[in-house]
Amino acid sequence: MFRIGEFSRIAQVSGRLLRFYDELGLLRPALTDPQTGYRYYSAEQLPQLNRILVLKELGLSLEQIARLVERDTSADELRGMLALRKAQIEQALADDLARLRRVESRLRQIETHGQVQEPDVVLKSVPALSFLAVGDVLADMGAVRTLVQQIVTRAPMPDGIIAVVGHAHVYEPDALDVEVGYVLTGKAPATLRVSDERVLTLRQLPAVETLATLVHVGRLDDVHQTYALLGAWLEQHGYAIGGDARELVMQLPNAAETVVIEIQLPVRWGAERAGR
Amino acid sequence: MFRIGEFSRIAQVSGRLLRFYDELGLLRPALTDPQTGYRYYSAEQLPQLNRILVLKELGLSLEQIARLVERDTSADELRGMLALRKAQIEQALADDLARLRRVESRLRQIETHGQVQEPDVVLKSVPALSFLAVGDVLADMGAVRTLVQQIVTRAPMPDGIIAVVGHAHVYEPDALDVEVGYVLTGKAPATLRVSDERVLTLRQLPAVETLATLVHVGRLDDVHQTYALLGAWLEQHGYAIGGDARELVMQLPNAAETVVIEIQLPVRWGAERAGR
DNA sequence: TTGCTCCTCACGTCACGTGAGGTGGC
DNA sequence: TTGCTCCTCACGTCACGTGAGGTGGC
């Protein structure tokens, strides 16, 4: 019989761990003195503890280990747990590899360009959204801006956020195929009149698994610079564009001509730099 | 200005997260109504939040992020954090790879051999230890057993654990070059007399970085089976033996002839299956 | 007036580490 | 008797999630 200190020294674990496992019922000492509360462990408990430690190193939770250790478990249950764990580890590896690439990318940038910072591209997934909008083919960005102004002044919707969706099948600078309107959560009218020629009608923006987003803060005329940053980031990180661009207008041009627009691009893994 | 719900929906984060970051001072709302406590966020705060989210995805702690965001940080400090993070991720990757191999190994064993379980080999590192022992070259295991019996009966040390260290430079079955004695923590006598011919003297067991251990429970005669299991495990996991074997005797033969012995083998990475 | 949104506590998570304050054993 | 060991609380960790119970805004 070993007292807790000796047993913990042999097993190279803390006394606190042994007390904790006692409390959980995971490894009860062979004997506990009812007077003093002293715990006494037998030599045979060392392999029991080792089994727990091994399962823990595999990354199983103490709750899972308790199931495996207390009642003797079927091979099936053990296989199930290990298969689950395998999938979790593989996921963790993939995530950490992606993380490592991003950290290294930022480090390289500090080395080569100094303080210039990478754009803060955030990946999101979004559900399908109600979109009360009108589609049109417009001559240039100025026309888009005019249309937005028209909508917010003549058909205001305080709960909606102005969005511009660009259908850029083929990029034709003189013919922007866009939809402009409000993204809405909750109940939405079927139509909303802007002028005699223009009526917003309710449609759906499809759900997107992976949306790469970058926020533009500055002049509306400079939004293409942010697009360029986002595009470069995507290329560098092995993503390819996989759908229509969306622009969420969070702040319309103010007195200082400053806008805040979140650019959203649906993306998928490109072929050249597969990461998983 | 956006209320917290709208802002959280746009940014795809929970309201709780925004309140938490407010509390930490990491991202204070542009305006808080002193009457109602309502938080109002400005459009410009979206890129600020995104910056936080990006740094979080790199795996930095909120405390580190706070340092980077609150006061504007030098490139050096950022580089330091990222370099640290890089090392951590690389370590995590190595650990997870090793874990994955072990999980897969156990899964394969269930598939091929059913319930037969792998031995619970535990890796430890130990400091240098005081070893009050006598060295000898003995004819066979029986002689070792006799010597151990002699020591525990004629020179008992309640605080010591009996250990046998085997110097197996060349394996000669008829000439076992061993040291037998007590492993001690704390103060130890310089010598201890067992008989006229045998005196235990104090020496040091060197510290070992990586010790592969496996506990044998059963007959003393069967201890070689446990050695075989440990040896097979080492080979399978790419370790090579790197020092003298130690046997910690946790329980001497009892009425049922059962012993409990922890076998300890110093190991190092073998050449054929490097894991890092 | 009725929902919907927002507010502030406060507990729970996971596996222990780290004291605080007090007692047992040789 | 003096150290050393052991005991039982109980808080802290990290980044929020999840209610509970109550109020503000259109």
CA distance A174 to chain B (A): 30
Whether B82 has its CB under 8 Å from any CB of chain A: the answer is: yes
Name which of A134, A144, A181, A180 is nearest A160 in CA terms. A181
Give mean pLDDT, residues B64-87: 86
d(CA A112, CA B35): 50
A to B CB pairs, distance under 8 Å:
145
Distance A39 CA to D5 C1' (A): 12
Q: Which residues of A45-78 are buried (b: 16+ CB within 10 A; e: fewer)?
A: bbbbbbbbbbbeebbbeeebbbebbeeebeeeeb
pLDDT in tens, A134-193: 999 998 888 999 999 999 999 988 889 999 999 875 566 678 899 999 999 878 888 899
Q: Is the pLDDT of residue B275 over 50?
A: no
> Between A10, A100, A107, which is nearest B93 by CB?
A100
> Which residues 177-236 of chain B have a CB under 7 Å from nucleic chain C?
none
From chain B, the residues in CB contact with A2 under 8 A are 250
d(CA B11, CA B5): 10
For strand C, is any atom closer than 7 Å to the CB of B36?
yes
Mutate to test the interface with B, among A8, A100, A210, A246 (most CBs of B within 10 A): A100
Strands (E), chain A: 2-3, 31-32, 39-41, 122-126, 129-138, 161-166, 176-184, 191-193, 199-205, 208-219, 239-241, 245-251, 258-269
> Which residues 157-196 of chain A have a CB under 7 Å from nucleic chain C?
185-186
**B178 band by pLDDT with thresholds 50, 70 and 90:** very high
Whether B199 has its CB under 8 Å from any CB of chain A: the answer is: no
Distance A226 CA to D25 C1' (A): 37
Q: Is A257 exposed, middle or buried (0-12, 13-18, 19+ CB in 10 A)?
A: exposed
d(CA B152, CA A108): 64
Quick check: A99 and B75 CB within 8 A? no
Quick check: B122 and A53 CB within 8 A? yes
Bridge partners of A51, per DSSP, are none
**A276 band by pLDDT with thresholds 50, 70 and 90:** very low
Give mean pLDDT, residues A210-214: 96
Q: Global pTM?
A: 0.86
Distance A34 CA to C23 C1' (A): 14
CA nearest to nucleotide C24 C1': residue: A36
Tell me which of B241 and B71 has the higher pLDDT: B241
Bridge partners of A179, per DSSP, are A135, A165
